Structure 1
Amino acid sequence: MFKFRLFCLPYAGGSATIYYQWKSLINSHIDLCAVELAGRGKRLREPLYEDFEAMVNDVYNIIEDQLSDLPYAFFGHSMGSAIVFELAHKIRMNNRPVPSHLFLSSRDAPITLSEDDTERDINKNTDKDDKEFIEDLRRLGGIPDELYANEELLNFFLPIIKCDVNNMRTYSFTSKDVLDLDMSVLYGINEDIEISKIEAWQEFTLKKVRIKVFQGGHFYIVSSRNELIQYINDTLLSYNIFK
């Protein structure tokens, strides 16, 4: 019997499939819901988003009916962190039950989003030729070797991630009331990331932010998957609903 729900949002170019392998490791009382974005996976035939706001609104419409029956949390990696952060505000503004916890992975606090972030860093704009763009992704660990070796798959993959990257460029944080919920900010020890920009997440919640570092780079969610899921399990199991 589920006691908690965990919604997971992917990084730029990613799909819900990256979270499917988590299901064998997540605690049996936690209902893991990998949210599929338009234009990929089982929603392959749907058009890609026109901007970041459309992405947030779509995810909200998908999950709205699942916000009342169980306490829940969000996990977002990179682009997914920006999505879940804005979702938390949208949910509160719509007077819906707010999440108990946000797991914000590999993303600076919003005050720095007008500067370089990971999606922008891999492609300051998407004017680079495809070869350069692909090599930037490989450097970050975002393209598995088997995908890199398959030109047809690469050609399918590139328009999705380029669209996501461009949509992130339309994201501009506007001042809102500070949230009152728990946050964990997670990243890989080998990421090119400034700790001050991670610590700045504390400005966006009244609760204490926990910072957790894992072995690996930007895609530590793959290389340190077991350790990450253990942290998620331990964090969610600490809530009173499990007592």
Structure 2
Amino acid sequence: MVTQQLFLACLPFAGGGAGFFREWEKRGIPEVTVLPIQLPGREERFIDDPFTEVADAVAELTPKIVSGAGDGNIALFGHSLGAVLAYEIARELERIGHPGLRHLFVSGSPGPHDGRTERATGLPDEQFIAGVQRFAGYRHAAFDDPDLLEVLLPILRADVEMHENYLATGTEPLSVPITSLRGEHDELVSREQAEQWAEVTRGSFTYQELPGGHMYLVDETERLLQVIAGSPACG
């Protein structure tokens, strides 16, 4: 029996880019091809205007994921903002009847119907940065470099606006299995919030904690990839 190749499309957190997931390509998961998805405004897409609406991101990124996967199966992974994008792309793939969607991995995120009440959009730079640092649970290295901060700030503002203004496009459950991942010491997203994802699928649901806080995936890449490799999507 020939196992069809699985493409793991990876959506970044606010301020992040595809470069983060290109490191995953070097780790290697048997029969899984990592497909880092680049958002505009960063890295090789530096000159492109960043998204400020999830709907615009979904409209542009979904065809790119389908094209990148070709005839292969698709799993989606997203952390924080990326989880929202991955969820809406999964909805779009099901809407168009794409036959290859196999799994949705959402990380560091409440369910899609639990909007954020505290906001950073529109705040002056210093207050905005402090708010983002509090929301993200870590301090981006660019915050301490004025030149890098000048480059990052417009991207980060656009990403935060997109995330804070997000409203789920519907309530109809997905049919695709969902795995919700969370750092066991995440102070931003509780276990209860992470388990809200069980409510948005008719398929199977798995909750998994890994060591670390909200940005556990920075230090626990190997364990995270082992969880993905052990999922039915990779079977």
Fold shared, TM-score > 0.5 on shorter chain: yes
In structure 1, how many angstroms separate the alpha carbons of the residues matched to 2:147 and 2:137?
Answer: 19
Relative to structure 2, which stretch is displaced further, 95-104 or 4-13? Answer: 95-104
State the partner residue of 1:90: 92
Structure 1: any 5+ residue segments left out of the alignment?
none
Of 163, 167, 171, which residue of structure 2 is paired with 1:168? Answer: 163
CA distance in 1, matches of 2:101, 2:10: 13
**Amino acid corresponding to residue 159 of structure 1 in structure 2:** P
SS at match of 1:92: helix
Contact persistence 2:113–2:167 (CA under 8 A):
no
Q: CA RMSD in A?
A: 2.1
Partner of 2:128: 133
Which residue does 2:148 correspond to in 1? 153
Distance 1:144 1:13, change over 3 A: closer
Could you tell me which residue of structure 2 aligns to residue 106 of structure 1?
108
TM (norm. structure 2) is 0.89
- Contact 1:39-1:46 at 8 Å conserved across structures: yes
User: Identical aligned pairs, as a percentage?
Assistant: 26
Please state how far the C-alpha of 1:213 moved relative to its aligned partner: 0.8
The answer for the alignment partner of 1:235 in structure 2 is: 231
Distance, in Å, in 2 between the alignment partners of 1:233 and 1:217 is 22
Determine the C-alpha separation between the residues in 2 that align with 1:42 and 1:217: 29
Deviations 1:61-107 (A, max 9, x none): 32232455111200001011111111111111112224211110011
Within 1, Cα distance between the matches of 2:233 and 2:87?
A: 22
Contact 2:12–2:18 (CA under 8 A) maintained in structure 1: yes
Name the counterpart of 1:226: 222
Distance of aligned partners of 1:148 and 1:111 in 2 relative to their CA distance in 1, 3 Å threshold: closer
CA contact (8 A) 2:183 2:211 kept: yes
Offset, 1:190 = 1.8
User: 2:55 is matched with which residue: 53, 56, 68?
Assistant: 53
Question: Which of 199, 206, 212 is the matching residue for 1:210?
Answer: 206
> How many residue pairs align between the two structures?
231
Shift of residue 230, structure 1, vs aligned partner: 1.5
Give unpaired runs (5+ residues) of structure 2.
none
Is the aligned partner of 1:20 residue 2:22? yes
The 5-angstrom pairing of residues 64-83 of structure 1 reads 64-83=66-85
Q: Per-residue deviation at 1:236?
A: 5.4
Letter in 1 for 2:102: S
Asked whether 1:188 is paired with 2:183, we answer yes
- 1:2 Cα deviation from its structure 2 partner: 7.5
Deviation of the 1:152 alpha carbon: 0.3
How far residue 127 of structure 1 moved from its aligned partner, in angstroms, is 3.0
Per the normalisation by structure 1, the TM-score is 0.86
Task: Kindly provide the CA deviation profile for residues 31-51 of structure 1, in whole angstroms up to 9, marking residues without a partner as x.
Answer: 111000111111111112242
SS of residue paired to 2:230:
helix
Task: Give the C-alpha shift of residue 142 in structure 1.
Answer: 4.2
Distance 1:30 1:212, change over 3 A: same
Return closer, same or farther for 1:152/1:104 CA change in 2, 3 Å cut-off: same
Distance in 1 between the 2:98 and 2:171 partners? 17
Corresponding residue SS for 1:211: strand
Runs of 4+ in 1 over 6 A off after TM superposition: none
Contact 1:67–1:96 (Cα < 8 Å) also in 2: no
